[in-house]
Structure 1
Amino acid sequence: MLDATDKAARPAHGPSDHPAISATKVGVLLANLGTPDHYSYWPMRRYLNEFLSDTRVIDYPKWKWQPLLQGIILTKRPFSSGANYKSIWNEELNESPLMTITKQQTAAIAAKMQARYGDQVMVDFCMRYGNPSTKSKVEAMVKAGCRKILFFPLYPHYAGATSATANDQFFRALMDEAWQPTARVVDPYFEQPSYIEALAQSVERGYAALAEKPDILVVSYHGMPKRYLMQGDPYHCQCQKTTRLLRERLGWGEDRITTTFQSVFGPEEWLKPYTVEHVAELAKQGKKKIAVIAPAFSADCIETLEEINEEIRESFEHAGGEQFTYIPCLNDDPAHIDALSEVIGQNLAGWVS
């Protein structure tokens, strides 16, 4: 986590009134999607307003979208979304699972960086929507002496509505800095061998724990409007490649694994097949035992813990499915932390020794 305890000092050859300057460090700023501060109405409304007002997420013209959002959606949706969050909320820490897991990931990666680089590198996290904000963490890192910042969106695959909007917010934060740090942004890591290995190990562990092995593994990715693909977004292709690399690492035939997309929103066509419909079709085809994994998420969240493990499970079982197994996200699994740390190390090349 961010360590801003380093004491700033006046430069040795500076005049007596020269402002104190912190010792130079390199910051690694992890970024995830975000989370409401609570599942009650107003925190949910603030969070949804920020999220659904992002033109990277909903790219309809503001004159058309905002009246609908402010007048109808934000009046009703905080109640339903709040109920979904309440069903998975970490009541002990009073935070969402995404927040809990991101903190765990950050602490584990910080320990890795400390062991490798000592005090040269500090690690912290921010959220694109909600708290802690990207701006607040950039400000804190600069104040603590980070003259270089590596920004790492925790999305294996690139998408305009995930990686790009996180980067946008990071660059906006830099615009407000009088003395901007040098910045780098981590590329998508969907084909990083250590990431594929971590995914494969999680599948192998999940299958080993079952008395009866699934008929098929459903690899469910967060969806997006098909129009985005046609406009040049590479997300769909990167997801398909992840499934292929995972299948090859597991040594499976194509009949044992399938790619789907979840979280459809609005009236237009999204990437297909839709997970919630496809699992029901699998059950009707006689595949009564399935496992589901969600490689597009670096941490379990509302889309996995509630949507997959409740809504999608229900769709499968209602259609006659008998055994539904959700394989958790990689979260703070040691193999995942090693993979993320490897990616960070590659991107810090030339900055630290």
Structure 2
Amino acid sequence: MMRPTHAPADHPAIKPAKTGILIANLGTPDGYDYWSMRRYLNEFLSDRRVIDIARWKWQPLLQGIILTTRPFSSGKNYKLIWNNEANESPLMTITKSQTQMLAERAHQEWGDQVMVDFCMRYGNPSTHDVLDRMVKAGCRRIVFLPLYPQYAGPTSATANDQLFRALMEQTWQPSVRTVDPYVDRPDYIKALADSVRRALGDTVPAKLVASYHGMPKRYLMQGDPYHCQCQKTSRLLREELGWPEGIIDTTFQSVFGREEWLRPYTVEHVAELARQGHTDIAVISPAFSSDCIETLEEINGEIKEAFEEAGGHGFTYIPCLNDDPAHIEVMMNIVRENIAGWVRD
């Protein structure tokens, strides 16, 4: 703590200025018990970016039947993948590791000029609490990196929304740079391709299913670029692998509600592939920066079962990039570009 030069003796002390690097992920319940799941689902499903139905229609349904029953089924699924040793979800474990590795790299390059931390859009640690901690630690500038390669309103935009809401509560707001989606970055595409090569070796599968998180189709019609960016990632991945057209299929998972979502649906598509005779396939999830309930339980559980029940027998799930050094290098490169002018080399 220091008193500003030429300030009077009673001026409050101020932390030396530094630059914050704040990475953001989707979030996780604190536990898989009913009340932890209910709190998490209530926050998640009350987000108007996620469910944009009029509140007077949606909230009675949410607070009634949905939050009465869904915490039980969701809790059972989380229990299947829970990191019991650390008593946290895999997404939390991985995000902590990503943050630690990124912090080590950042401090090697910029020393005490930077502070690295992470927050969750839903659940803990909240965006509000982490931003407040960084500001109190002296962060006058912050690079905000939502860990979503492809932009979407219900992911990237709501993470930014929450950051801006948190900024509204700060007396002395830091300057902020929000990071662009990195859908087509060569280093990200190469990291994806290398993860495929590690999993499959020199084998070119009959089909590699690139399964992205779904969203209602009308979001696309309203101008959300997510669908197009997913298609671009799949195309660039195929080109980086040097595979011919037709090998990678782009699909969408995690359908919720009755309206039509982006198609094809992963669970239906893999079953159809099995019925067509593609009994050995691989699945990758390029939209997820960390393995989580949607990959570890949905893809490697429900979707795998649908494939096998339709006659498939060879199902390879390719893990997310997680805390792979190549992924940390992608994150570091993004930070390096966005922190330019804010730190001394």
**Which TM bucket (shorter chain)?**
over 0.9
Identify which of 11, 16, 24 aligns with 1:18: 11
- Alpha-carbon shift at residue 236 of structure 1 (Å): 0.2
| Cα root mean square deviation, aligned | 0.9
* Contact 1:264-1:270 at 8 Å conserved across structures: yes
Compute the displacement of 1:350 (Å).
1.3
User: For 1:99, which of 92, 104, 118 is the aligned residue?
Assistant: 92
1:132 corresponding residue in structure 2? 125
Q: Indicate the residue corresponding to 1:3 in structure 2.
A: none
Match for residue 60 of structure 1? Answer: 53
**Could you state the TM-score of these two structures normalised by the residue count of structure 1?**
0.96
Q: Provide the C-alpha distance between the structure 1 equivalents of 2:61 and 2:52, rounded to a whole number of angstroms.
A: 13
Counterpart in 1 of 2:281? 290
Cα distance in 1, alignment partners of residues 330 and 23 from structure 2: 14
Unaligned runs of 5+ in 2: none
Any idea what the Cα deviations from partners look like across 1:282-321, whole Å, max 9, x if unmatched? 0000000000000000000000000000000000000000
What pairs with 1:44-83 in structure 2 (closer than 5 Å)?
44-83=37-76
Q: Does 1:273 align with 2:264?
A: yes
Q: Which residue in 2 is equivalent to 1:229? A: 220
Letter in 2 for 1:264: V
Q: Deviations over 1:128-177 (max 9, x none)?
A: 00000000011001000000011110000100000000000000000000
Residue aligning to 2:320:
329
- Matches for 1:171-210 after TM superposition, within 5 Å: 171-208=164-201
Partner of 1:118: 111
Residue 144 (structure 2) pairs with residue 162 (structure 1): no
1:37 match: 30
Q: Which runs of 4+ in 1 moved over 3 A?
A: none
Deviation at 1:215, TM superposition (A): 1.8
- 1:342-353 matches, within 5 Å, as 342-353=333-344
* Partners of 1:213 and 1:289 within 8 A in 2: no
Distance 2:219 2:204 in 1: 36
Distance in 2, matches of 1:343 and 1:158, equals 15
| Other-structure match for 1:86 | 79
Percent pairwise identity? 71
1:10 Cα offset (Å): 1.9
- Compute the displacement of 1:213 (Å): 5.5
DSSP-derived class of the 2:14 partner: coil
For 1:57 and 1:48, the matched residues in 2 are separated by 12
Instruction: Read off the aligned partner of 1:19 and give its amino acid letter.
Output: P
Q: CA deviation at 1:9?
A: 2.0
1:115, 1:318 → 2: CA distance? 51
Distance 1:200 1:213 in 2: 12
Q: State the distance in 1 between where 2:193 and 2:122 align.
A: 31
